[in-house]
Structure 1
Amino acid sequence: MNKITRHPISALGYQFIEPKYLPEGADEYYLRNKQNRTKTLFRNLNANEIEQLVRNQNQADDWNKILVSDAFNPELVKNCKFFGLIRIGKLEPFFLEYHNLRMPVGLYNSHIISCDIGDNVIIDNVSYLSHYIIGNEAILVNINEMSTTSHAKFGNGIVKEGEKEEVRIWLELCNENGGRKVAPFSGMLPGDAWLWSRNRTDTLFQSRLLEFTQNEFDVKRGYYGKVGDRCIIKNTLIIKDVWFGSDAYIKGANKLKNLSIHSTPDASTQIGEGCELVNGIVSEGCTVFYGVKAVRFLMAAQTQLKYGARLINSYLGSNATISCCEVLNSLIFPSHEQHHNNSFLCAALVQGQSNMAAGATVGSNHNSRGADGEIIAGRGFWPGLCVSLKHNSRLATFTIVAKGDYPAELDIPIPFSLLSNDVTNNELVVMPAYWFQYNLYALSRNAWKYEARDKRIEKFQRLEFDFLAPDSMMEVLKSLAILEEICGKAYYQKFPTEDKVSIQSIKEKGKELLDSDDPILQELTYFASGWENSKRKIRVIKLTDAYLRFKQVINYYPVYCLTKYYAETDLRDGGLIKNLTSDLSQPEVWVNLGGQLVPKSSMDQMITDIKNKKINSWKELHLCYKNLGNEYEQEKTKHAFAIFFASEVIPTSEFTSAHLIQMLTKAKTFRQWMSDSIYISRKKDYDNPFRNMVYADEKERDQVLGSLEDNSFIQSEKIESKKFMEQIDQFLIALK
């Protein structure tokens, strides 16, 4: 039976805060007065104004509880019912227009309970409006219910006075069993979500992060909902416990409940038809439209949800788009693309710059006794058409997965690889360095595209979009040893010896063969082990080409950093190189902290400082992110040289200008190869007869697709390549 209680009509609009939660000497409006920062001076209605309001079919439980500004015009208030304390700003006789919606300023045909209403607001046909503070020139039209409760948390994972811990909202990220859950809050960065979802055995660290969230907000009861200046909310059914930033645009939503919807004049947020959002945070600059369902979620800045997408128990990083599909229990770093109705992502950590094709089901096929699996995919994860991956799987950076149903868990340590499922031969096929060999255009263009599309207003985290970065290059360095071991094993498999060969000897043999490009390499067949949880073979193809490319990239990487970050430096005094190369130890492991790459030691220090109370809030932690971002260019360049020294086994003390000249010369050659490969890999599409057969001729093809020579990225790449060559020439002149 529904429990319906009776109260006297005189109580409607009052006692918003239960007396036991009121501080001594405070009334129920003390927080409302704190929230409403208007400088308007309010007064009581005069007798003529009350008479005019009554004549306009308005009702009030107590006309003395309606306070107005001096610029109040009673002619612009018609057929409304008022209960509780109402404060109304100026109303002037003109209309507001937005996207062809033209309506006169004023309050019409609405039921309003205990609200503050700003200047020149339009409220028309709002059936129930309760406990809101409405900003200036806001437009509220055709809303069934819009109310705030005294214990509203606006989507933040906090507990209010008198509430039990059980009511706290959590996001169950990365794992469906809730073991990596985090409490969301307005302003939560992907680095925050990642740090919190890891380090689960460190109970002190976990409790401190929960403290940060709980202390981020006032836990007192009695805060009103807020509608920022110039917000437009129209044709919406239910709004409950929602905070709207300025300039938000809401049209045709079904239900919005327990949300913070951030929006600014420079980064307006829009929510459209048929959407239902519950228990979440929508950051500035987001768009959500056409039947989206989101529950227990956080959308970072400049993200899009559209066309019936489902986002549940998930964090969506900035500059990302999800449409048509379903995403559950996932932590997604910035610049993720997922556009297709039949793709599915579940219980995954996707570390950014990712793109899921149609039919990809990542994590849908549970293969344990419980829903407790996880998938970890490094930056640049691209599962192709109809790819099915099993929990648990781990994939290195810039892994592309070809169409297929992969029957077992994967652990792929080699970056830039293409995975293929060879059903005929029952083999997993891995091509390392695929992107460098066959599609450098896409790899380079994506780095350019993601940076160009980074529309964040506040960039607390310095996101890395380049495919040459500390995380991927550390994997490249480790891959050399892996490929050497695979090569050595292949050699001794073909040419066995009677004596037992140590792993070290196997690696040394593989390195010897690969460094010398021995012709015997073409006769060997290469297989890996431990990359798939199955008994079938794991074939590694194009191994020698991959090894060569990886060695070239390692030589090129520090030079690339020099040209990118130290282009104006004079190398003649050698001070910069000495600073970047002296006292370098083995290259340190870096971590992807929500799209921002940081040394693991720096992350460990942050964790220690949090536990030791040197960092005491999310704002202070975000400042640490910013400081690390300011140091990133120098630290990245130092790390690049450390990787080079580790691969070449050169002590830093023996590094001379002759070594640097050699590096620069090789880098110039490699950069020219990259530029040519970018052009050639795109040109293949224009030369392919099967692509061209749908066009009458080349002229029509270029009209439809754009000509190859006019390609904006290729034009940009040519400019960058020329600039790189000129910088190298300047460096070489300075060193000779």
Structure 2
Amino acid sequence: MSQGFVPGDEYALRNTQVQPPPGGWRNLTSQEVERLVKNNNYAENWDSLLVTDPFDAGQIRNNRFFGLVRLGAVRDVVLEYHDLLLPVGISNSLIISCDIGNDAALHNVSYIAHYIVGDRTILFNLDEVHTTNHAKFGNGIVKEGEPEEVRIWLEVMNEGGDRKILPFDGMVSADAYLWARYRDDRALQTRLLEITQGAFDPRRGYYGTIGNGSVIKNSRILKDVKVGEGCYIKGANKLKNLTINSSLHEPSQIGEGVELVNGIIGYGCSVFYGCKAVRFILGNNSSLKYGARLINSFLGDNSTISCCEVLNNLIFPAHEQHHNNSFLVAALVKGQSNIAAGATLGSNHNSRANDNEIEAGRGFWPGLATSIKHSSRFASFVLLAKADYPAELNIPFPFALVSNNVSRDRLEIAPAFWWRHNMYALQRNGWKVRHRDRRLSPGQIIEFDVLAPDTTGEICQALKILEPWKDAEGPVEIAREGMSGEGPCYERSRRPVVVHNPAAACQAYREMLLTWAVTTLVPQVEELLQQGLSREDIPRRLNAMAGEAVGEWVNLGGQLVPEEEVRRLRRDITRGTLADWESIHGRYRELQDRYEALKRSHAAAVLRFWGGQEEIDSSLWTRACGEAIGLQEMIAERVYLSRRKDDQNPFRRATYRCAEEMYAVVGAAEENSFVVQIREETKEMARRIAGVS
């Protein structure tokens, strides 16, 4: 007969988590009990072991059952995963108060308590799988009767914990940034805590879950862990207080020797080979490998960390850090970054208190064996040459190469270095990170293009800084501010700060602004012309589209948002207009839907800035299009030339018998697929620009 339940009993919350089978559960027949006993099974109370049909008692052997245990269909079939084949059923296991799904295989599970196991799931050779009555599954909440002290925080960006945030399932980079950045907004901080606590049921008694089709084998401890569908866990040492998001289309994997405590893992993630993570969030499609240590940190989508130590960080999407001897602590890294071997970022203690912070814009790339101190700040796409930088840095020039000239005892900056000297790497960066975005369910839309509203805004500010030296062609000393901090501060020292060739840098920056502004506006102008707008009216429409000035944009976790929209977002959260995380995420989506329009408005303002005019007229638009066509040709040529440098480097050629062998191994610049792709893309864009000029 079907089993009934009393509301409010110890299984009340569990019953809300379980979908009963179509025919309900039933008690065992006397013949089934007899068969189970002969198979060396023991139950504290056989009436508390419920089954559904079909049920083959011969598949249940050498087990002990306690509490209410409910079994789905058990048939004489085999489950296969890779080379592992196991019969459906339960053997050599201790089961306490669990629901087991249809056609599941549990073998040699020494202890499993308070879990809901999905259909076609394999659990094999496990020591302890257990859920406590106060399980939070990695979310930063407290349960009924718990003191505030047990709440789990992530201490991101700052070792002192002064920017701590509460992790929760579904948290995206924008949420973490909003919470950690605006600490002076007390009302916002209070509301975010209330919203997070209110997003989860504080009642005790929820069971852990293991989703359909998951495989967990040869692992030691899983305690208070929620596992999604299709997840593969093998050889893990300890998994505690976690949510592991996984689906049949975006499975996550946990490998050998891994220890994870107090965290949220996104869809499509992998954690392998002895990694340790404590108080952390992994964004979707991210990886930890080869002994990486991730502590008190948020790692954004599409990121990989291996063989290194990462502490107290907020890292936006598309971060790469692959080397055993790199170290990153107390930093905000805004994505598309690459941390080289030997980099020790923020490890130099320079006060008697906790070190402070590092803020690095998109595309941050410190070179081999680079060492920098807190507190330092870098614009987008700053490349640090190999050096031990002796003092704190503040670099406002995007796309710059920064170096420490020891022989002359000065800091040297080459603004717009990427555009002038390595167009291949610059153009390939955006393509590369977009190509690596394999998320099927992206939690947040990310801007991958290197030229975008945030970087063009930084370029405009850099041009204003360089204005006094815009005609200087040699090295120019722009600061020697000493320790007072008065005026522009680029390095906290008394030594000179030198900019290389400001005239060429300003020219390059202006080329970047023009290229982005025109290519961004071309689709809009094409659409207007198709709607019947005359060419003479194009400037008027562009002026109507433009904002009053080149506004500031915020990199909100990889999504670019105008500063005024971030202020409105904060205000609406504080006032309760956005009362939960679902509505806050809805605002992100709304802003993304408006992104193209907002970006084009910014592009029109950038075009006016480039032209030095208050309005766009026909002359400015025609001149801009003409120069932009030439720049498209220049981009294609520079991509080729920067790639060809490798072919012409005699030291690179020294390891090959002949040029033919080298080309057979690394390919020739002329045949490089990305060089060919850029040539085709720039040719097509030049044609489109000509069509709207």
> Shared fold by TM > 0.5?
yes
The reply on whether 1:80 has 2:63 as its aligned counterpart is: yes
The reply on whether 1:401 has 2:391 as its aligned counterpart is: no
Structural mapping, 1:447-462, within 5 Å: 447-462=430-445
Conserved 8 A contact 1:565-1:633: no
The reply on whether 1:559 has 2:559 as its aligned counterpart is: no
For the residues of structure 2 that align with 1:349 and 1:67, how far apart are their CA atoms? 53
Deviation (angstroms), 1:649: 2.8
Deviates more, 1:582-591 or 1:439-448: 582-591
Per the normalisation by structure 2, the TM-score is: 0.95
The reply on whether 1:445 has 2:465 as its aligned counterpart is: no
Deviation (angstroms), 1:192: 0.2
The reply on whether 1:364 has 2:347 as its aligned counterpart is: yes
The reply on whether 1:581 has 2:532 as its aligned counterpart is: no
The reply on whether 1:608 has 2:591 as its aligned counterpart is: no
Deviates more, 1:580-589 or 1:151-160: 580-589
For the residues of structure 1 that align with 2:539 and 2:89, how far apart are their CA atoms? 69
Deviates more, 1:718-727 or 1:225-234: 718-727
Deviation (angstroms), 1:368: 1.4
Specify which of 473, 478, 502 is matched with residue 527 of structure 1.
478
Map of 2:593 onto structure 1? 630
Specify which of 132, 140, 146 is matched with residue 123 of structure 2.
140
Map of 1:48 onto structure 2? 31
Deviation (angstroms), 1:557: 1.9
For the residues of structure 2 that align with 1:523 and 1:293, how far apart are their CA atoms? 50
List gaps (5 residues or longer) in structure 2. Answer: 481-488
1:120-149 Cα deviation digits (max 9, x unpaired): 000000000000000000000000000000
Map of 2:643 onto structure 1? 682
Which letter maps to 1:415? P
The reply on whether 1:33 has 2:18 as its aligned counterpart is: no
Conserved 8 A contact 1:235-1:251: yes
Deviation (angstroms), 1:279: 0.2
Deviation (angstroms), 1:568: 4.8
1:322-351 Cα deviation digits (max 9, x unpaired): 000000000000000000000000000000
Residue 513 of structure 2 aligns to a residue whose secondary structure is helix
Deviation (angstroms), 1:622: 0.6
The reply on whether 1:243 has 2:231 as its aligned counterpart is: no
Map of 2:364 onto structure 1? 381
The reply on whether 1:468 has 2:442 as its aligned counterpart is: no
Map of 1:499 onto structure 2? none
Structural mapping, 1:511-550, within 5 Å: 514=471, 521-522=472-473, 525-529=476-480, 530-550=489-509
For the residues of structure 1 that align with 2:253 and 2:523, how far apart are their CA atoms? 37
For the residues of structure 2 that align with 1:522 and 1:217, how far apart are their CA atoms? 61
Deviation (angstroms), 1:39: 2.8
Task: Give the direction of change, closer, same or farther, for the CA distance of 1:672–1:525 in structure 2 (3 Å limit).
Answer: same
Residue 163 of structure 2 aligns to a residue whose secondary structure is coil
1:208-261 Cα deviation digits (max 9, x unpaired): 011111111111110000000000000000010000000000000000000000
Task: Give the direction of change, closer, same or farther, for the CA distance of 1:228–1:566 in structure 2 (3 Å limit).
Answer: farther
Structural mapping, 1:113-152, within 5 Å: 113-152=96-135
Deviation (angstroms), 1:569: 4.6
Runs of 4+ in 1 over 6 A off after TM superposition: none
Conserved 8 A contact 2:476-2:502: no
Map of 2:486 onto structure 1? none
For the residues of structure 2 that align with 1:718 and 1:390, how far apart are their CA atoms? 41
The reply on whether 1:352 has 2:335 as its aligned counterpart is: yes
Specify which of 626, 642, 647 is matched with residue 665 of structure 1.
626
Q: Alpha carbon RMSD of aligned pairs, Å?
A: 1.6
Deviation (angstroms), 1:725: 1.4
The reply on whether 1:168 has 2:151 as its aligned counterpart is: yes
Which letter maps to 1:278? V
Residue 481 of structure 1 aligns to a residue whose secondary structure is helix
1:6-35 Cα deviation digits (max 9, x unpaired): xxxxxxxxxxxxxxxx9x951111111100
Conserved 8 A contact 2:474-2:500: no
Conserved 8 A contact 1:460-1:623: no
Map of 1:96 onto structure 2? 79
Specify which of 238, 250, 258 is matched with residue 275 of structure 1.
258
Residue 529 of structure 2 aligns to a residue whose secondary structure is coil
Deviation (angstroms), 1:266: 1.2
Residue 671 of structure 2 aligns to a residue whose secondary structure is coil
Residue 176 of structure 1 aligns to a residue whose secondary structure is coil
The reply on whether 1:570 has 2:532 as its aligned counterpart is: no
Deviation (angstroms), 1:567: 5.0
For the residues of structure 2 that align with 1:29 and 1:319, how far apart are their CA atoms? 39
Deviation (angstroms), 1:570: 1.8
For the residues of structure 2 that align with 1:566 and 1:153, how far apart are their CA atoms? 52
Structural mapping, 1:657-736, within 5 Å: 657-732=618-693
Task: Give the direction of change, closer, same or farther, for the CA distance of 1:137–1:418 in structure 2 (3 Å limit).
Answer: same
For the residues of structure 1 that align with 2:579 and 2:388, how far apart are their CA atoms? 47
Map of 2:394 onto structure 1? 411
Map of 1:284 onto structure 2? 267
Conserved 8 A contact 2:629-2:686: yes
Task: Give the direction of change, closer, same or farther, for the CA distance of 1:647–1:667 in structure 2 (3 Å limit).
Answer: closer
For the residues of structure 1 that align with 2:162 and 2:625, how far apart are their CA atoms? 49
Task: Give the direction of change, closer, same or farther, for the CA distance of 1:578–1:624 in structure 2 (3 Å limit).
Answer: farther
Deviation (angstroms), 1:692: 1.1
Deviation (angstroms), 1:70: 1.6
Conserved 8 A contact 1:151-1:222: yes
The reply on whether 1:252 has 2:235 as its aligned counterpart is: yes
Deviation (angstroms), 1:707: 3.4
Conserved 8 A contact 1:366-1:373: no
Residue 547 of structure 2 aligns to a residue whose secondary structure is coil
Conserved 8 A contact 1:348-1:374: yes
Which letter maps to 1:125? N
Deviates more, 1:75-84 or 1:444-453: 444-453
Task: Give the direction of change, closer, same or farther, for the CA distance of 1:413–1:197 in structure 2 (3 Å limit).
Answer: same
1:196-218 Cα deviation digits (max 9, x unpaired): 00111221110101111111111
Conserved 8 A contact 2:475-2:501: no
Task: Give the direction of change, closer, same or farther, for the CA distance of 1:170–1:566 in structure 2 (3 Å limit).
Answer: farther
Deviates more, 1:531-540 or 1:583-592: 583-592
Residue 364 of structure 1 aligns to a residue whose secondary structure is strand
For the residues of structure 2 that align with 1:727 and 1:440, how far apart are their CA atoms? 22
Residue 144 of structure 1 aligns to a residue whose secondary structure is strand
